[in-house]
Amino acid sequence: MSIAANNPNLKSWVEVPANSDFPIQNLPFGIFKTNQLKPRVGVRIGNFVLDLKALFVLGYLENLPFEGSDFDCNYLNCLMSKGKKATRELRNRISKLLDENQQDLQKNLHHLEQLLISIDQVEMCMPVQIGDYTDFYSSREHATNVGMMFRDPANALLPNWLWIPVGYHGRASSVILSGEAIHRPKGQIKPDPSADPIFAPCRNLDFELETAFITFDGKPLGDSISTEEAEDFIFGMVLFNDWSARDIQTWEYVPLGPFLAKNFASSISAWIVTLDALEPFKVATPAQEPEVLSYLKYEGLKSYDINLEVAILPENNVETVISRSNFKYMYWNMAQQLAHHTVNGCNVRCGDLMGSGTISGPTEDSYGSMLELAWKGTKPLKMNDGSERKFIQDNDTVIMRGFSSKDGVRIGFGEVSSKVLPAK
């Protein structure tokens, strides 16, 4: 697919620092506010936010299927409700306006003062109003590692894992924006296998390195989305830290799966990178054996080459990168996840969030959770400040970053960051 805004030769008249996550080829969408402006839609370019409400009012978005209220909105749902074709046209128009060879906007200094706002002058807001949140379990490496730890190592994967994109329904109300701290959760844990459970703060707090995709409105209840159609129903992606209380989960997850172990918080990044912007970074999905059922079959490239890293920042501000992974390792791709989610007639809605599941690679330094990196606490990680970690400690900040790179173009997500405060 050829999308005009993805041309690797494009350069913007807006200064974009070297190695920025936000060149003209990205143009991710978010919601921002300032001391003077209430929440509204913005697009990131370099170290600036382009105010789309002002851009509309000043007449630069004429002949596009949008109204002023689509940009003067607390969430991107209004804009996303117009669908894939409309948001693609909008991104292409913005790209043209920011192109160094186009004069319409860059020569109008009076307008630029109203439209471009330095990133250090804005406060980012939750980008979408999330109606429903589903979390998948789609990394073969992660599922195998967990199976080896807690079940028979010779049969690490459960019998259904290679047949269906396993998932569960999460809690949308506790999805929070990057920068918001969380408190260590409390619940029932069973530190002594031979004794009764106790109520206490979680002792084995973990992160899960994930991405998530945000949907447009799907089909009516009873209809299904095919793998061929799936990407037309996906607006874009964010970085996603699906916090996990491992000791609470160990006790509660039989027979129905995680509950209090997961519903206390999940953190997302502020900028939604459109699936269109990620188009140049498509790669093949890992080989799937046994052959999948017909509704999960697909054609073409459906996975994405996205470099990911996780860092821990203690209170002393000495950061340690503890994992480097890649989204391309995922066994089940997003098209298959959405097709499976809807094959029974389930209706997805604009702003629904679909977590990838923990993203683990094939090597020990590419695992996507502390559970794996420290191997259930038996291999503590050495931090750059000389300390060790088996799980996340109070006052640690967990930071996840992600970007794709090809043909001299880097498309990034920024970061998702959250500090862990002591239990209340």
Active site residues: 142
Distance of CA 403 to the CA centre of its chain: 11
d(CA 172, CA 179): 18
Token output for 12: 């913007």
Buried b (16+ CB within 10 A) or exposed e, 260-286: bbbbbbbbbbbbbbbbbbbbbbbbebe
Residue with tokens 């109008």: 108
Residues, the chain: 424
Q: Specify whether the CB–CB gap between 224 and 342 falls below 8 A.
A: yes
Nearest residue to 278 via CA among 241, 322, 239: 239
